[in-house]
């Protein structure tokens, strides 16, 4: 897709990955609708990428009021060519230690909200002969990892939803893709999570790398799942075919995971 002068909705725009995606899109001439909860950060990002023709919508997409605000703004803007569901949150800690409130909030933000936003904006996306939805998932949407129970559930769900919607819209001209970054260096990571990754030797990508991959999907849409990082992408395949091998590997990591997860809530 030639993204120049196309309307692109980007949720979670003021976070680390969101900002990097926004900068890439703006550099290629897209007209961005930046969405996030922090009005101050959105305003700064809007200024940093040059202001008009870009715009910003401060909204909490975790509730109906915020989603309605975004829908009304988009209805007034006109047809949407690309929706990037990037907004998300993370909690690291063992499942039994997490409050039900925290679990509900995470599932709402990571799974329910992007599903409902897709439904809200689908009519506008279908007005175009060539349009796209890109859902930002995670390697943990394919591999259940200790200390990330609710997060894994949300990203497994998002991957399944993306696959279903892609097949449902097959032949419509609306491509639906899922991109799964591995650990990424953003402010969502708590200090203990960063320390655990260091102890395990887990690589953390820069947000700009994820943004580059998103741009590849937009520029050459395939309507498919894309997994980032090595050896993470091969672990995804092994886990699908021979999960007992991954079970064994993660069991060896469990003492280190326990050491950091007990401080993760």
Q: Residue ranges per domain, the chain?
A: 7-261
Instruction: Kindly tell me the sign of the dihedral angle through the C-alpha atoms of 252, 257, 259, 262.
Output: negative
- Which of the residues 145, 151, 178, 260 is marked catalytic? 151
What pLDDT does 221 receive?
Answer: 67
Please state, in angstroms and rounded to a whole number, the distance separating the CA atoms of residues 177 and 136.
9
Q: What is the pLDDT of residues 131-163, one digit of tens each?
A: 999 999 999 999 999 999 999 999 999 999 999
| pLDDT of 214 over the 80 cut | yes
What pLDDT does 78 receive?
Answer: 82
| pLDDT of 222 over the 90 cut | no
Query: Measuring CA to CA, which residue among 27, 131, 21 is closest to residue 74?
Result: 131
151 a catalytic residue: yes
From the CB of residue 181, how many other CB atoms can be counted at a distance below 10 Å?
Answer: 24
What pLDDT does 262 receive?
Answer: 74
Please state, in angstroms and rounded to a whole number, the distance separating the CA atoms of residues 153 and 11.
20
Average pLDDT over residues 65-93: 95
Torsion angle of the four alpha carbons 35, 130, 3, 1, in this order, in degrees rounded to the nearest 10 = 130
* CATH class in words for 7-261: alpha beta
Average pLDDT over residues 72-93: 94
Average pLDDT, the chain: 94
């Amino acid at each position: 897709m030639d993204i120049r002068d196309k309307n692109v909705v980007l949720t979670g725009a003021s976070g680390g990955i969101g900002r990097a995606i926004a900068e890439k899109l703006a550099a290629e001439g897209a007209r961005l609708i930046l969405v996030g909860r922090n009005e101050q950060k959105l305003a700064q990002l809007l200024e940093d990428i040059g202001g008009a023709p870009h715009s910003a919508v401060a909204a909490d997409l975790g509730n109906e009021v915020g989603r309605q605000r975004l829908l009304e703004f988009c209805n007034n803007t006109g047809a949407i060519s690309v929706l990037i569901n990037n907004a998300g949150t993370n909690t690291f800690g063992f499942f039994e230690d997490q409050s039900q409130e925290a679990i509900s909030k995470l599932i709402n933000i990571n799974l329910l909200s992007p599903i409902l936003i897709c439904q809200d904006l689908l009519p506008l996306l279908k007005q175009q002969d060539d349009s796209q939805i890109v859902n930002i998932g995670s390697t943990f949407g394919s591999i259940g990892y200790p200390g990330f129970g609710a997060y894994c559930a949300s990203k497994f769900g998002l991957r399944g939803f993306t696959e279903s919607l892609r097949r449902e819209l097959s032949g419509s001209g609306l491509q639906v893709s899922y991109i799964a970054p591995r650990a990424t260096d953003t402010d969502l990571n708590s200090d203990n999570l960063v320390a655990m990754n260091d102890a395990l030797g887990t690589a953390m990508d820069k947000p700009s790398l994820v943004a580059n991959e998103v741009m590849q999907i937009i520029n050459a849409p395939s309507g498919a799942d894309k997994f980032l990082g090595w050896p993470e992408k091969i672990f995804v395949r092994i886990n699908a075919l021979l999960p007992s091998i991954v079970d064994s590997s993660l069991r060896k990591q469990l003492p280190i995971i326990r050491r950091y997860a007990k401080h993760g809530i």
